[in-house]
Amino acid sequence: ISTIVFIVYSFEYFLGGQMFPIDIMPNAVQAVMKWLPFYYELFCPVAIFLGRLKGPDLVQALMIQTGWLLLTWAAARAMWKRGLGHYQAVGG
């Protein structure tokens, strides 16, 4: 499990703008990164706070972030239901 967590944190560190700003990446790479959830964990809120995201770009960012939120919620709910189906209690 710790290896999986390390891999996810590595992606988050690199793709979320913690290592270096996403603004310095080529436009094609930025376009791909903006569709991944890591962008919305750190870089997007900072860009909103600094006033770099305005108007249609801000609305698009919030819609994509909402989409990732709903997708993550649905996946967690499905895993929870599946886990409850396999759960067995032993003892009192």
- Which pLDDT does position 42 carry in this prediction? 86
- Which pLDDT does position 23 carry in this prediction? 86
CA distances, 49 to each of 43, 44, 70 (Å): 10, 9, 23
- Which pLDDT does position 92 carry in this prediction? 62
38 touches 12 (CB < 8 A): yes
The region that residue 55 occupies, defined by phi over 0 for left and psi between -120 and 50 for alpha, beta otherwise, is left
Long-range contacts of 4-13 (CB under 8 A, 24+ apart): 11/38, 12/38, 12/41
pTM score of the predicted model: 0.75
